[in-house]
Amino acid sequence: MFLKSIILSIALVGSSHVVMAQDEMPIIAYMGVPDWKTSDENFKTLSECGFNVSLYPYSSLDLLVKACRSAEKYGVRVLGRCAEMYNAPVKAAQTLKSEKGFFGYFMQDEPNVHEIRQRQKEIEALKRIDSTHCFYINLLPCVNPEWIASSTKARDYHEYLRTASATDIQQLSFDYYPITTDGIRATWYDNLEMVRKESLVSGKPFWAFTLSVPHDVPSSKTNKYPMPTLASLRLQIYSNLAYGAQAIQYFTYWNPGKNEGYNYHDAPISREGVKTKTYDLVRQMNGELKSVASLFYHARVTSVAHMGKHIPNGTRHLQDMPLNIRRIITKGRQGAIVSQFEKSGHKYCAIVNKSLTSPLRVEIDAFNNTPVQISKSLAVVPMKRNYTITAGDMIIFRLN
C-alpha cells in the first residue's frame, strides 16, 4: 500500500474538540493541492469539489504558510508537514499556530509501534508551543492479520491500535481500501470493528478512507484498484459513517504519478492539474456527503450489526431491533449494515446496502407512526413499508 506522506486530523478529546468552520465534518483531499501548484485558483477548484481540508507534505514552512493563506480564502484548511516541524519545532509551531488556514500537523503515515513512540516525542515539542491544532498519524490497516507483526512490530493489531491511542494524537485514522478487481476484501468489516472498539475504549474518534485513484498493485498481477464509481464511493463512505467515522478522507485528490511501483491514474485532478471525469464523480459524492455528514458528525453510534446470508468475520448478526421497529427484512445478494445512533436527543437507524452492483429490497414494520425517514437533504419523509436501496447506498430513519 502506498506510503502516503500526508495525513490530517480532527477529533474529540474528553469534553473539548478541535472544530472547523461551522463545526463541520472534515472531508479531506489527500494529496491535495501540491506545493508546486499552490494558487488561489487551485484551492478554489478543490473547494468546489466539496473538500474542506487539503493534505500535502510541504518542502518548507514558507510554502506551507503560503498554502494556508490561499486555502483560507475558500473555506479550506491545510493539514501538512514541513522540515521545520522536526528540525525547528519552536519556529514551526509559533508560525503555524496563528494561521487561520492551518488545520494540523501530519506526523507520519503508516508507522510501526516504535515509530509511533518516537512521533510522540516530536508532538510534545510542538504541543508546548501550539496546543490548539491537531496532531495526526495515519495507521496501517489489518488487511491480512498474518502481516501485522512484521509490518507494525506489535504482537497483534489490538496492541498496535492501543499504542497509537496512548499518544497525543486526537484521532485514530487508518487506510483500508476494500474494493479491488477481485471483489470486496473479506477483512474490511473486521478492521472497522477493531478500530471502532479502540475508539470507544480510548474516547478518540476514528477517521476512514475512500479510494478515488485507481492503480495497480505491484505485488499482484491481477488484483488491482479499479476506477471509482458512485456505488463504490457510496459503499465505502456510508459503511464508514455507519460504523461511526468522524472524517472521510479521499485517497487521492491530485494524481501522485508513478511511485514505488504504483501506477496512479484518473485521480480527480491529473498530475498536470487538469480536472478528470473522476473530479465530477467526487464532486457529486461530496454533494451527498456534506448534507448527511452533519447528522453523523458528533453522533454516538450505539450499535452496528449485519444482515444477510453471509455475516463477515468479526461482526455480528442483527438481533435487537431498533426502537419502534418490529421487524426488518432484507432481500439482496450482499446483505446490509444496520447502524443505530443517537444525536441531539433523537435515535436514528441507517441501513447500508453492501452490494456494489445490485439493489437491496428492504421491508420494515414499525410499531407505531413515530419513525420517519430522513432524506439525504435531512428532510422528514413519511415512513413506507418497502424500500429499494441502490448499490452501495444508504437510507436513514429517525426513530423517536
When pLDDT is cut at 50, 70 and 90, the band that residue 193 belongs to is very high
Binning pLDDT at 50, 70 and 90, where does residue 250 land?
very high
C-alpha cell at 334: 450482499
Percent of the chain with pLDDT over 70: 93
Residue bearing cell 455528514: 293
Question: Rounded mean pLDDT of 297-325?
Answer: 97
CB distance 242 to 282 below 8 Å: no
pLDDT value at 19 more than 50: no
pTM beyond 0.75: yes
C-alpha gyration radius of the chain: 21
pLDDT band at 379 (very low <50, low <70, confident <90, very high): very high
Band (pLDDT 50/70/90 cuts) for residue 6 is very low
- Phi first, then psi: give them for residue 284, nearest 5 degrees: -60, -45
Whether 364 and 385 have beta carbons less than 8 Å apart is answered as yes
- The fold of the 300-398 domain, in CATH, is Immunoglobulin-like (2.60.40)
Query: Does the structure show a pLDDT above 70 at 235?
Result: yes
Distance CA 132, CA 265 (A): 37
Q: What is the pLDDT of residue 85?
A: 98
Q: ∠290-6-79 over CA atoms, to 5°?
A: 55
Which CATH code fits 12-296? Answer: 3.20.20.80
Averaged pLDDT for residues 324-338 = 95
Q: What does the pLDDT average to over 341-369?
A: 97
Classify 261 in phi/psi space as left (phi over 0), alpha (psi -120 to 50) or beta: left
Per-residue pLDDT, 38: 97
- Does the pLDDT at position 58 exceed 50? yes
Residues 95-139: pLDDT tens digits? 999 999 999 999 999 999 999 999 999 999 999 999 999 999 999
> Checking DSSP bridges between strand 336-343 and strand 300-307, what pairing results, if any?
antiparallel
Lowest mean pLDDT among 213-227, 261-275, 304-318: 213-227
211 pLDDT higher than 60: yes
What is the distance between the alpha carbons of residues 301 and 296, in angstroms, rounded to a whole number? 9
Say if residues 113 and 163 touch (Cβ distance below 8 Å): yes
Please state the rounded mean pLDDT for residues 254-272: 90
Contact 352, 336 (CB under 8 A): yes
Query: pLDDT averaged over the chain?
Result: 93
Q: Cβ(305)–Cβ(319) under 8 Å? A: yes
- If pLDDT is split at 50, 70 and 90, which confidence band does 221 have? low
Domain ranges of the chain: 12-296, 300-398
How confident is the model over 346-361, as a mean pLDDT?
98
Residue 13 has pLDDT above 60, yes or no: no
pLDDT of residue 15 exceeding 50: no
What is the per-residue pLDDT for 8?
34
